[in-house]
Amino acid sequence: MTLATFFQHLLNALQWGSFYALIALGYSMVYGVLMLFNFTHGDIFMVGAYIGFFVSSGLVALSSLGIIALPGWLILALTIIIAMFLTSFVGMLVERVGYRPLRGAPRASAAITGLMIGIVLETGNLKLLGAQRRHFPILIETQSYQLGPVTVTNTKIMIVFLSLLLTLALHQFVRRTKWGMAMRAMAYDFVVVPLMGVPLNTIAALTFGLGSALAAAAGIFFGIAYPILEPYMGLLVGWKAFVAAILGGRGSILGAALAGFLLGFIEIFVAAVFPSTLRDVIAYSIILIILTFRPHGFFGEPYSAQLRL
């Protein structure tokens, strides 16, 4: 591998990893605060992508009809904001329907309802919108820049940059604000902290909402990079991001993002060196080895996970 192709792959890996990182953040937050697996999250990513698709298509139609003339970058910005906002409600709805009624139940029961809501979302999408694939509208022209032998596109730069920005914003939110403090307290002990007057249900809804908003951003970025949407797109990416989230360590936002990028790197570079069919084998084997030697992930505290069964 020459240096030029190395940097080319590095850029692709950064882009690919930023999807994983953004989705993994949602898994990691829910897991950190509520100690639950949110198995719906991959499908929320899909829903976010579809919401982004409809919002952007609507805005494009509006501006092409001449009602409000908007430049492409403004449409994109509006799409990201509106889709994140709407998808966060989807996440809160999932929490309300599938997780809150099972608060006192075995943890695994909530995982099952999460899985089932995911199937409902996939099938509902297939039923409502039909089986044809949707093409995400092209909002900003892709421009390529030659940095020496490496080709850089503006969309890649934007995706990586915005993903890092969102990750850091979330990190700051959790570290600096009162809400973030409540979330961290809940992650520390969700039996005692509600007794101190922190509203558990509100914090849970907030956690789901924030995670879902980030998943929506990931969905839109995915739609920009690979402009084909289908109902089952959340399955593969979602499960891999789940693995990344746990690999990062419980409740560690930077850990989840780092693991997401790492997974992206592993996958892209394995596919570059070996036949691409071996990608999953090698990627997961590396994860297995990492977890064997660091069983609590990168930044996770070694703790005894009491399964509330």
Q: Residue for token digits 């996939």?
A: 122
Contact letters for other proteins, residues 126-145 (x by CB under 8 A): xx------------------
- Binding of other proteins at residue 109 (CB under 8 A)? yes
Provide the CA 174 distance to its chain's centre, in angstroms.
17
Phi and psi at 270, nearest 5°, equal -65, -45
- Binding of other proteins at residue 304 (CB under 8 A)? yes
Q: How many CB atoms lie within 10 A of CB 81?
A: 14
The least CB distance from residue 299 to other proteins, in Å, is: 13
300 with 250: CB under 8 angstroms? Answer: yes
Provide the CA 255 distance to its chain's centre, in angstroms.
14
Structure tokens given for 6? 């190395």
Q: Which amino acid is at 283?
A: A
Phi and psi at 301, nearest 5°, equal -80, 140
Among 98, 137, 209, 264, binds other proteins (CB under 8 A): 98
Structure tokens given for 304? 């005894």
The least CB distance from residue 203 to other proteins, in Å, is: 20
- Binding of other proteins at residue 93 (CB under 8 A)? no
249 with 255: CB under 8 angstroms? Answer: yes
Q: Which stretch binds other proteins (CB under 8 A): 8-16, 102-110, 151-159, 187-195?
A: 102-110
Provide the CA 3 distance to its chain's centre, in angstroms.
31
- Please give the residues from 235 up to 294 whose contact with other proteins meets the rule CB under 8 A: 235, 239, 242-243, 246-247, 250, 277-281, 284-285, 287-288, 291-292
The least CB distance from residue 226 to other proteins, in Å, is: 21
Q: Residue 108 or residue 147: which is nearer to other proteins going by CB? A: 108
The C-alpha atoms of residue 98 and residue 111 are separated, in whole angstroms, by 9
Q: Residue 32 or residue 137: which is nearer to other proteins going by CB? A: 32
Binding region for other proteins (CB under 8 A): 31, 37, 97-98, 101-102, 104-106, 108-109, 111-113, 115-117, 119-120, 122-124, 126-127, 235, 239, 242-243, 246-247, 250, 277-281, 284-285, 287-288, 291-292, 295-297, 304-307, 309
